[in-house]
A = this chain, B = another copy of it.
Amino acid sequence: MAGEPLAVLSAAEAARRIREGALTSEELVGACLERIREQEPKVQAWTFLDEEHALAQARAADEARREGHPVSALHGIPVGIKDIIDTGDMPTENGTVLHKGRTPRHDATVVASLRAAGAVIMGKTVTTECAYFTPGKTRNPVNPEHTPGGSSSGSAAAVAAGMVPLALGSQTNGSVIRPAAFCGAYGFKPTHGLISRHGILALSRTLDHVGVFARTLEDLALAAEELAGYDERDPDTRPRARIPFQAIAAEEPPIPPVIAFVKTPMWERAEEETKEAFAELVQALGDRVEEVELFPSAAEAWEWHKTIMEAEMAANLEREWQSGRGKLSKTLRELIERGREIRAVDYQRALSRIPPMQESFEELFTQRYDAILTPAAPGTAPKGLGSTGDPSFCTLWTLAGLPAVSLPLLQGSNGLPLGVQLVGRRHFDARLLRTARWLVARAAAAG
């Protein structure tokens, strides 16, 4: 272990050592807490953290192992939880003063799954207000004058800063992929419906996804394998066999993948530096990458996404709007007011565009391409903490429910990470991670 601080071990490696008795959960959690004490004044990733409670869970995990109880995949591993995800033993305040002191009685399904896999629930990470645009206190760990992105600001920053190896976030537009890109973490937003959203602040049934942050692709696979699954309390999950995420993600692709480089109609928003970096990356990847123009209706996705998100958020935040709109930010209040005016026919029309769009993507993936390569954001994390940046490079994939991963492969001239986004076929999440692993290796070899 010499030379490698415990806090920045990958989850997979730490779990291996704990399983083998070479490391205790208490040592690992202790090292993470020390890292937090050191970094938190700068980063401000946490909204709730009880050191003693975290250590108590770690000690219980160590005790269970010593007593010969079965040791699961995340045994003793600390995980940060975005503060819109319910925890039965910690407050969950959803980033709004309206929910100050809110203490749910039950764990969200994903938290229960993590506990069942042996994880230590480290604490609650900062979210923007109701996972929308108004920032929390978190700063970018690479440069605290820059935004960490949002809405999963604290989860992305905590993982990137080495405070925890894993954290949960959520994405309704670009709330996992963008902060992962801005902070330099790996971020994974799986296929819509793969991971249950029961017990999580509902903004938009159509668009809400649970996502994961880690510092390696292997760790994304490790977490996804525990989190994916049917939950009768989330009507968009489906009964299916357990997906061997880690095994598939670790495989070599049987034949080298073919990647579609897609600029999307948002390309004009990309910074010059981003355009140049992608041109170089595409060239470095050589004949395995082809530039592809999407079917024409893809250009309308941003409008449909806006209609659906506004209409569904207005419905889901009705109680907050009715009883406390004076305590909501202007941005959120205006979103809800727009959403309240949307007609049911227009909302349904927007919903009805999703399945044909998914079919068009299905064609693209089955006919030739293993994944789509596209920016995660227009550029590096913008300076200032008043905004969390532009999610528009994520909108299309979120609307279509396609799995996406943010890969910290590039860097801007300001030294901040520049995220690469890889998007896969629906329900082929593990294969997307396999393709991502191939891409990372190939980019490293070329670079």
Contact = CB atoms under 8 A, between A and B. Distances in A.
Interface string A303-321: 0000000011011001000
A22 interface: no
A76 interface: no
A5 B205 CA distance: 55
A331 interface: no
A339 interface: yes
A28 B192 CA distance: 50
A348 interface: yes
A329 interface: no
A271 interface: no
Contacts of A341: 343
Contacts of A339: 344-345
A283 interface: no
A345 B342 CA distance: 8
* Oligomer: number of copies: 2
Nearest to A346: B344
Given A239-B239, A352-B315, A343 B345 contact: no
Given A239-B239, A311-B345, A341-B343, 20 more contacts: A238-B238, A311-B344, A311-B348, A312-B348, A314-B344, A314-B345, A315-B345, A315-B348, A315-B349, A315-B352, A318-B349, A339-B344, A339-B345, A340-B343, A342-B343, A343-B344, A344-B344, A344-B346, A344-B347, A347-B347
Contact of A343 (B239, B343, B352): B343
Q: SS class of chain A's interface: helix, strand, loop or mixed?
A: helix
Contacts of A343: 340-344
A363 to B, nearest CB: 16
A338 B347 CA distance: 16
Interface string A282-324: 0000000000000000000000000000011011001000000
19 contacts: A238-B239, A239-B239, A312-B348, A314-B344, A314-B345, A315-B344, A315-B345, A315-B348, A315-B352, A318-B345, A339-B344, A340-B343, A340-B345, A342-B345, A343-B343, A344-B344, A344-B346, A344-B347, A347-B348
Nearest to A314: B345
Residue among A318, A344, A346 with the highest chain B CB neighbour number at 10 A: A344
A387 to B, nearest CB: 27
Nearest to A315: B348
